[in-house]
Structure 1
Amino acid sequence: MLHVFKLGFAAFHVQDMQAMKKYYEDIAGFTLTETDKNGSAYFSTSTDHHNIVLIPSDRSGIHSFGFQYESEGSREEVIEHLKSLGIEASKAEDGHPVMKDVIAFQDPEGYSVRLFRETGETKKKGFKSAGIVPNKIGHLSVRVSDAKAQVEFYKKLGFDNTDWIEDFFGFMTCNRDHHVLNFFTSETKGMHHLALEMRNYQHLISTLDFLRLNGVNIVWGPSRHGAGHNIACYHYDPEGNLIELFTDGDVYIKELGIFDPRPWHKDFPQKPKVWKTDECLSLWGVDFEKALV
């Protein structure tokens, strides 16, 4: 009935629209595709109408996030299917121009989630030539009161649990990426980080030089994580949202229950497992000058 397969967008509350629009257009290298009557700005990596949404607000932080789905059923039938799973979903008619069959619900932690059948294409197709210019938004990490409960909820939507860091950090995917969502048990609520996928290590390193020349400081990395094995580094956007740049993440082969083997794996085959914190955050021994958890 329902196949969720792609992280489509992340939307943010924004206090300083000028600074954030400049960051996502000139630094991140997204393309501004539309500004609506309410002042919300929509940005695309390449072909989708939008992958980032900036919404004028009196506060900062995550507003909502959305996933693309396919289904043989109508939107109404998908909504009824979700309700049968205990998910109070409804039609969403506003806030995302050109998207089709948008469905809205809140997850158990109160995060606003959208499902959409079609994203709509931007007329300004293609990647920009300056900025970070990521392949895509790769994954989203959010703080929750109970990561285990959150993981069980997203399993209802067809997500797979790929790894854990002890019992407080759960990783989930809806495709072959190691994760498109992860949940961090915390005393506070909000986004932990948004990750942008780079093409390769050279793209990542050249981007770090670009960030330095444009006054953006790296708070940690680069280093290779344990869970996911992605090479990653982190910085903040103008409103304090933590942004990860990563490459070389694990590829999940669901049919085999393993990750596609890589020379840097410790286990052969590498399977979903529970990692210890000290073996997971940095396989290269890069110390955290500022804790990310």
Structure 2
Amino acid sequence: MSDHVFTHLRHTALAVPDFDKQLDFYTNHWGLSVTATDGDVTYLAAEGSPEQYVVRIRRAAEKRLDLISFGVTDSAAVDTVAEKLGRGGATLVTEPDRLQTPGGGYGFRFFDNEGRTIEVSADVAAREHRKVEVGEAIPVRLSHVVVNSADPEATVAFYEKHFGFKVSDILMHPRMGKMMWFLRTSRWHHSLAIARGPHPALHHASFELRGLDEYMRGTGRMLRSGVEKIWGPGRHLAGNNTFSYFLDPNGNTMEYTTELESLDEDTWHPHLYDFTQPEVSDQWGTANAMDEFVAAKSFNDPDKGLFIAPPV
């Protein structure tokens, strides 16, 4: 029986200074759809996902990661998680209550060990969604979120201890040691990954496309639109998923991916991969090299929202 506490990744929320350009990027280029807005906060859905929204953007003076949201089975699970976190010394940002965001539901927020705001929710109404068709190069769902950590060992331990995340694979460097941990909360290879970085920040958010053809069409659309490509297209070894990384208008890295591995959790054993080996970073050999430029973009700016709850 699985001891995963979370059922799945719901959405991520970003605060951005250049709100209008960010909204244009997500709707006219990236392929998300507006489901609700109040002017300063807009909720964006993936057409193939039952989640009410997969990204929320908020107009703000400073860029920050507002929160990452995960689902649990029911309202009783929400209460149980909140109680255990409180007993374990975590800081609750809000107590369990009815949610006022699209789809409603029941949930709460807390700070993780480095001060990121995490939301836990259940009973959120499913959105009317549709099957993404052949050749339609738009996101089906939010695949995973990767964060930078100044103390990744402690951050991995936090998510293992409190939520039953399992390590699927680890990337290492011969001189620098372990550099990235891929964590799963279901059979998907990872819904969260923790990367060693100079400061806590968003590393990237990744969006699943229908298949290889749609993934390549989406990648080509970004290139033709003049969106800055950071890395790709290629196929990682850990997770066996494809990757094309682009920079959004506010300097956050966004990824198109497809074919993320689904594991047999009863038989899976984590690998320790040396990412200086070219086939680890890119099995195909089609992507540009993982170099200092790519790494610097992935570090992102230091998160201004640590241990500061977002206003919405």
Please state which band the TM-score falls in when normalised by the shorter chain: 0.7 to 0.9
**CA 1:237–1:132 in structure 2 vs 1: closer, same or farther (change >3 Å)?**
farther
Distance in 1 separating the partners of 2:77 and 2:232: 45
Distance in 1 separating the partners of 2:273 and 2:53: 35
Match runs of 1:57-96 below 5 Å:
57-71=60-74, 73=76, 75-89=78-92, 90-91=94-95, 96=101
Distance in 1 separating the partners of 2:113 and 2:184: 18
Distance in 2 separating the partners of 1:74 and 1:283: 40
Is it true that 1:55 corresponds to 2:68 in the alignment?
Answer: no
Of the candidates 148, 152, 157, which is equivalent to residue 147 of structure 1?
152
The aligned residue for residue 189 of structure 1 is 200
Q: Which runs of 5+ in 2 are unaligned?
A: 173-177, 299-312
Shift of 1:246: 1.0
Shift of 1:169: 1.0
Whichever residue aligns with residue 205 of structure 1, its letter is M
Match runs of 1:1-293 below 5 Å:
3-36=5-38, 39-46=40-47, 47-71=50-74, 73=76, 75-89=78-92, 90-91=94-95, 96-122=101-127, 125-126=129-130, 132-155=137-160, 156-166=162-172, 167-256=178-267, 258=268, 271-279=269-277, 280-285=280-285, 286=287, 287-288=289-290, 290-292=293-295
Q: Deviations over 1:19-49 (max 9, x none)?
A: 111111121211111113x620011113322
Shift of 1:207: 1.2
**CA 1:26–1:128 in structure 2 vs 1: closer, same or farther (change >3 Å)?**
farther
**Once superposed, what is the RMSD of the aligned Cα atoms?**
2.4
Distance in 2 separating the partners of 1:288 and 1:62: 24
Whichever residue aligns with residue 40 of structure 1, its letter is V
Distance in 2 separating the partners of 1:174 and 1:87: 20
Whichever residue aligns with residue 187 of structure 1, its letter is P
Greater RCO between the two (CA within 8 Å, min separation 6)? 2
- Count of matched residue pairs: 278
Residue pair 2:219, 2:233 contacting (<8 A) in 1 also? no
Residue pair 1:2, 1:69 contacting (<8 A) in 2 also? no
Instruction: For residue 276 of structure 2, give the secondary structure of its aligned residue in structure 1.
Output: helix
Mean alpha-carbon deviation: is it higher for 235-244 or for 78-87? 78-87
Shift of 1:86: 3.7
Runs of 4+ in structure 1 deviating by more than 4 angstroms, as ranges, are 92-95, 127-132
Whichever residue aligns with residue 82 of structure 1, its letter is L
Distance in 2 separating the partners of 1:54 and 1:119: 19
**CA 1:208–1:73 in structure 2 vs 1: closer, same or farther (change >3 Å)?**
closer
Distance in 2 separating the partners of 1:128 and 1:224: 22
**CA 1:2–1:189 in structure 2 vs 1: closer, same or farther (change >3 Å)?**
closer
The share of aligned pairs that are identical, in percent, is 22
Shift of 1:185: 1.4
Residue pair 2:230, 2:294 contacting (<8 A) in 1 also? no
Residue pair 1:31, 1:128 contacting (<8 A) in 2 also? no
Shift of 1:92: 5.7
Distance in 1 separating the partners of 2:203 and 2:8: 20
Distance in 2 separating the partners of 1:219 and 1:32: 26
Instruction: For residue 155 of structure 2, give the secondary structure of its aligned residue in structure 1.
Output: helix
Shift of 1:209: 2.1
Shift of 1:79: 1.7
Residue pair 2:11, 2:53 contacting (<8 A) in 1 also? yes
Whichever residue aligns with residue 276 of structure 1, its letter is D
Residue pair 2:4, 2:165 contacting (<8 A) in 1 also? no
Residue pair 1:3, 1:71 contacting (<8 A) in 2 also? no
Superposition TM-score, scaled by structure 1 size: 0.86
Residue pair 1:236, 1:242 contacting (<8 A) in 2 also? yes
Q: Deviations over 1:108-141 (max 9, x none)?
A: 1111000010332346x33688984111110111
Instruction: For residue 4 of structure 1, give the secondary structure of its aligned residue in structure 2.
Output: coil
Superposition TM-score, scaled by structure 2 size: 0.81
Instruction: For residue 67 of structure 1, give the secondary structure of its aligned residue in structure 2.
Output: strand
